[in-house]
């Protein structure tokens, strides 16, 4: 498989993080990261970097330590309602804008153990999902 120039940039970034003894990695869910999530997670495991991400659905993978993000199902319903209002003739200025207020925290204890990280009990108590 031929590596793209962008993939090489990610690999170099992880090399640099390793050389600088970076302690953890926060990965946004925005492009281009969303397009290369598999590569990022593979590199995080290779370099033993605890990975925190917006991809809550990946919390069950042994590559992600912690995921914290909006509860997308809840917000998709709100956004669908906004679209319905617009299609039914409500003026855009009269449709409220909803910012995420309902968030989801998922913690993978298998990953924490593999990385030698002790997750504080208070954080575990606040988690919506704890993967053991």
pLDDT tens digits, 17-36: 999 999 999 988 788 888 88
Tokens of 13: 């970034």
Confirm whether 41 is domain-assigned.
Answer: yes
pLDDT tens digits, residue range 67-105? 998 888 888 889 899 999 999 999 999 999 888 888 899
pLDDT over 90 for what percent of the chain?
Answer: 58
Residue 42 burial (10 A CB sphere; 0-12, 13-18, 19+): middle
pLDDT at 1 over 70: no
Confirm whether 91 is domain-assigned.
Answer: no
Confirm whether 111 is domain-assigned.
Answer: yes
Q: Tell me, what CATH number does 125's domain have?
A: 3.40.50.2300
pLDDT at 118 over 80: yes
Taking the complete model, does pTM exceed 0.85, yes or no? no
Confirm whether 20 is domain-assigned.
Answer: yes
Using CA atoms, how far residue 41 sits from 10, 18, 80, 105, in Å, is: 11, 15, 31, 18
- Domain span at 21: 5-70+102-131
Kindly indicate the confidence band of residue 3, based on its pLDDT and cuts at 50, 70 and 90. low
Element at 107 (helix H, strand E): strand 103-108
Helices then strands (H, E): number in the chain?
5, 5
Counting the structural domains of the chain, the total is 1
Confirm whether 115 is domain-assigned.
Answer: yes
Confirm whether 81 is domain-assigned.
Answer: no
Confirm whether 93 is domain-assigned.
Answer: no
């Amino acid at each position: 498989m031929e590596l793209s120039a962008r993939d090489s940039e990610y690999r170099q970034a992880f090399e640099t993080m390793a050389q600088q003894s970076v302690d953890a990695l926060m990965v946004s869910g925005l492009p281009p990261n969303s397009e290369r999530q598999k590569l990022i997670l593979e590199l995080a495991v290779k370099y033993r970097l605890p990975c925190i991400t917006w991809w809550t659905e990946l919390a069950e993978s042994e590559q992600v330590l912690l995921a914290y993000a909006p509860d997308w199902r809840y917000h998709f319903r709100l956004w669908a309602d906004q679209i319905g209002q617009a299609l039914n003739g409500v003026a855009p200025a009269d449709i409220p804008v909803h910012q995420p207020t309902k968030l989801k925290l998922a913690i993978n204890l298998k990953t924490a153990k593999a990385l030698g990280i002790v997750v504080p009990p208070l954080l575990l108590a606040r988690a919506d999902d704890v993967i053991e």
